[in-house]
Structure 1
Amino acid sequence: MNFEDLKPIVEGLDPSKPLVMAGPCSAETEEQTLSTARQLAMGGIKIFRAGIWKPRTKPGGFEGIGKEGLAWLQRVREETGMLVATEVAMRAHVLDALEAGVDILWVGARTSANPFAVQEIADTLKEAGATDVAVLVKNPVNPDLELWIGALERLYNAGIRRLGAIHRGFSFYGKSIYRNPPQWHIPIELHRRIPHLPIVIDPSHMGGKRELISSLSQQALDMKFAGLMIESHCSPDDAWSDKNQQVTPEVLKVILGSLVHRNTVQETESLQNLRDKIDRIDTELVEMYKKRMDIAREIGKYKKEHSMPVVQETRYNDLIKSRVAAAVEMGMSADFMKTILQAIHEESVRQQIEVLNQN
């Protein structure tokens, strides 16, 4: 499936500029929704986003204003001329949003992780004859690229051609400066596989803190992603949900104005020379990995002859610790080096097991 016949998410916007969607995490009251929308429109925002239904982790919290809020989005559209977008998670949401004339629907991270829910949304759009509506799919909460692509394929198969993805980072157990660490290699791989698919970055959910929005947005533009979805509230500290990751429309205008749009069309000879060096080093790395695996197979033969277990846990832990420390001293990320070493070790174990199983 190549997705080559996709249409623009929305018509009439400058394709040379990143798509920007902004608005509150939740539509809380009519006054809050309209006040935020008016300020955003004055700042040049063309697409207003607001959650009507909010799938929360636990019951008891604010789960969205519900269908009542769709009338507020209609007023936003009428008064400001902005397009409006909201999240849908089930058939009833889709039908209500379509009836209200919502321009863009997005499938949230909890929903995109459930193939049954995504298929229900796709079937509902097809049955309603609404295949020209724009639909964006957030990445699943866990870093599962195949599940993300599967959700996109379900909608594409239903006839949706104004289709895009939203990268909001992935859930993480442990300590991180981010609420949902970006793991940029995953959306980069998504773009490699489906180059025609626009990918919008959500720095609000990714960072979880308003002070991280600017830097994450710049990273998104530097990697040439298609746009940004940023949460903005007329009074963020009083927000009913996710107040720490929302900014005022005024602050958003400053953030967007400070972003650097880099021109990557023109390549200099010096840049090409540097890329050629990287290509040569990559080739050398592959050759070195091959030599390392040859030695691993020799070790596998020795272990087979002496009835030794494949994994030597103490040595492995010592190796990880020393190599990671050396990498950090050289200015590399500890997580980066640990990931590489773990992958090398897994392949070494696979090679040795293959040797042990030979007759």
Structure 2
Amino acid sequence: MPHTEAQTAAATNFPGKKPLIISGPCSAETEEQLLATCTQLAATGRVDMLRAGIWKPRTKPGMFEGIGTKGLPWLQKARQLTGLPTTVEVATPKHVEDALAFEVDVLWIGARTTVNPFSVQALADALRGVQVPVFIKNPVHPDLELWLGAVERLAKAGVQNIGLIHRGFASYGNTEYRNAPMWHLPIEMRRRLPDLPLICDPSHICGNRTGLAAVAQQSIDLGFDGLMLESHIDPDNAWSDAKQQVTPQRLAELLDGLIWRQETTDQQEFLTVLAQLREQINQLDDEILHLLGRRMQVAESIGRYKKENDITILQTSRWNEILERGIRKGDQLGLTADFIRKYFDAVHLESINRQNSVMNK
């Protein structure tokens, strides 16, 4: 498969800039719509890479599933007009072949594809020997192993420039987000893969325009390397995901309102104070772990006492009492009820495991 000089340059410099800003319409609808959106985005001077949905995996049949391959020449023309590199989502080997034939600079694998190892492997095989950068979105559901597995499959196929996109996770029931951000999961991915660029997709996390700035700012505060935001010249009449797209002008305003933070500084006063505060954290963590160890020793003693008296491990009324007491106390200390529940759930599970070991000796 041929490989253009532009694609080689994109691979060499990937991601090329921090913060990296990627924008464009959710879907390429017409040549006029795509070119107008892309030229207006380029004119803002805030965008580094253009995106457009060419093939759209949809939940139900009958929904707009993308214009297909005929939209790729439009994207190629947008690249020629603006000088900006382009990126599209691919879900099949044929998508890869067509995208590269029309000189798409960077590819990304969508959430619905990441969740399927067979599909990811098929894409990895199609990319073998082709040094085009590839972003991987998190799987639809909160499963880090699937996300990591996708990275490993591409790496084993020889893809050298891999990035991550956090677009949130599907969760049952109504929430304030279309896809819950679950920030601890991309943070864990960053911990495991610190050298991979990680960008945030606030459009798919929010599912609306109103929350974009807040989610974008939170990702910046967490040290993400960039943003992917959807933009359309006429968002209200977009053929897909109309509610989460903004005009190029509004996008520029949103980006200008963000506070871009740096990962560190060489100012000695800051570094000294930070080191002192972190040492306090270390000491407090040691104390917490010591107390947790003592708590588990007491739990084991309770387990032995229950065993001697043929009493069940789980005492629902006692567990409710502990949880309610913890939430009340936590509220007085400025701790949220959600945090207290998660903390006590973990502690309770470990206590049950300890007592279960005692019961079955």
Report the TM-score range of the alignment, normalised by the length of the smaller protein. over 0.9
Q: Which residue of 1 aligns with 2:226?
A: 227
Cα drift, residue 21 of structure 1: 0.5
Q: Which residue of 1 aligns with 2:273?
A: 270
- The 1:328–1:9 alpha-carbon spacing in structure 2 relative to 1, beyond 3 Å, is farther
Cα drift, residue 74 of structure 1: 0.9
Q: Quote the Cα distance in structure 2 between the aligned partners of 1:16 and 1:67.
A: 29
Q: Map of 1:165-204 to 2, 5 A cutoff?
A: 165-204=164-203
Q: Which residue of 2 aligns with 1:104?
A: 106
Matched-pair contact (CA < 8 Å) for 2:139–2:146: yes
Q: Which residue of 2 aligns with 1:319?
A: 322
Q: Give 5+ residue unaligned stretches, structure 2.
A: 1-7
User: 1:122 is aligned with what amino acid?
Assistant: A
User: 1:159 is aligned with what amino acid?
Assistant: G
Q: Quote the Cα distance in structure 1 between the aligned partners of 2:28 and 2:55.
A: 9
Q: Quote the Cα distance in structure 2 between the aligned partners of 1:99 and 1:274.
A: 54
* TM-score of the pair, normalised by structure 2: 0.92
Cα deviations by residue, 1:188-246 (Å, 9 ceiling, x for unpaired): 11111111111111111112221111111111111111111111111111111111111
Q: Which residue of 2 aligns with 1:310?
A: 313
2:292 counterpart of 1:289: yes
Q: Which residue of 2 aligns with 1:60?
A: 62
SS of residue paired to 1:209: coil
Q: Quote the Cα distance in structure 2 between the aligned partners of 1:8 and 1:312.
A: 63
Q: Which residue of 2 aligns with 1:35?
A: 36
2:279 counterpart of 1:279: no
Q: Quote the Cα distance in structure 1 between the aligned partners of 2:14 and 2:233.
A: 25
Cα drift, residue 16 of structure 1: 6.0
Counting matched residue pairs gives 349
- Bigger Cα displacement from structure 2, 114-123 vs 25-34: 25-34
- Bigger Cα displacement from structure 2, 225-234 vs 264-273: 264-273
Cα drift, residue 115 of structure 1: 0.5
The share of aligned pairs that are identical, in percent, is 49
Q: Map of 1:1-359 to 2, 5 A cutoff?
A: 17-44=18-45, 45-126=47-128, 129-130=129-130, 132-263=131-262, 264-266=264-266, 267-358=270-361
SS of residue paired to 1:211: coil
Cα drift, residue 10 of structure 1: 5.1
Q: Quote the Cα distance in structure 2 between the aligned partners of 1:329 and 1:245.
A: 38
Matched-pair contact (CA < 8 Å) for 2:14–2:161: no
Cα drift, residue 320 of structure 1: 2.4
- The 1:38–1:325 alpha-carbon spacing in structure 2 relative to 1, beyond 3 Å, is farther
Q: Give 5+ residue unaligned stretches, structure 1.
A: 1-6
* TM-score of the pair, normalised by structure 1: 0.92
Cα drift, residue 11 of structure 1: 5.0
- The 1:31–1:318 alpha-carbon spacing in structure 2 relative to 1, beyond 3 Å, is farther
